[in-house]
Amino acid sequence: MANKRGRPCKTGLDWFPFEVGLLTDRKLRAPRAHHGPAAALTYLALLTLIYQDKGYYLDYRESVREDVALDVSDLISGPDPVSTDEIMAIIEELAEPNGLPKVRECAKWSAARKQNLQARIREEGAQAEGP
């Protein structure tokens, strides 16, 4: 589908703005203290995955968490790869209440989506059973 100017519509972005103060942000201080430079690299990799895919969120349900961690690992790993367990721990720490908003919103969205889906499945099951 094209827009008014005839350009094809596209999901996701090819670039995103980068705040120059990201690496000195106080919210990254604790994750960086616990996990070293892997925390900042994980955050950048998450932003890349978020903006590249849907543009505003990343599916991080329980069933795909390891896949996300593997994707992050592919983006940030060098000679000394970061384990998927450590990447998942970093993501959890980034998503804490006082953590970085984009990661927190993604984690919240995934949880809310899961609850809504479960509620919808229960409703459909109850309707199928009838009175």
Q: Among 10-19, 48-57, 70-79, which stretch is predicted with the lowest mean pLDDT? A: 10-19
pTM: 0.65
Confidence at 86, pLDDT banded by 50, 70, 90: very high
With the C-alpha atoms ordered 50, 56, 58, 60, is the resulting torsion angle positive or negative?
Answer: positive
Question: Has residue 84 got a pLDDT over 80?
Answer: yes
Instruction: Give the domain ranges of the chain.
Output: 27-129
Q: Each residue of 10-35: pLDDT tens digit?
A: 777 777 677 778 788 888 888 999 99
Average pLDDT over residues 77-102: 83
Residues with Cβ within 8 Å of residue 77, at least 6 apart in sequence: none
Three-state DSSP class for 56? coil
Question: Has residue 113 got a pLDDT over 80?
Answer: no
Average pLDDT over residues 85-92: 92
Average pLDDT over residues 93-99: 76
Question: What pLDDT score does 109 carry?
Answer: 57
How many helices (H) and strands (E) are present in the chain, helices listed first?
Answer: 5, 0
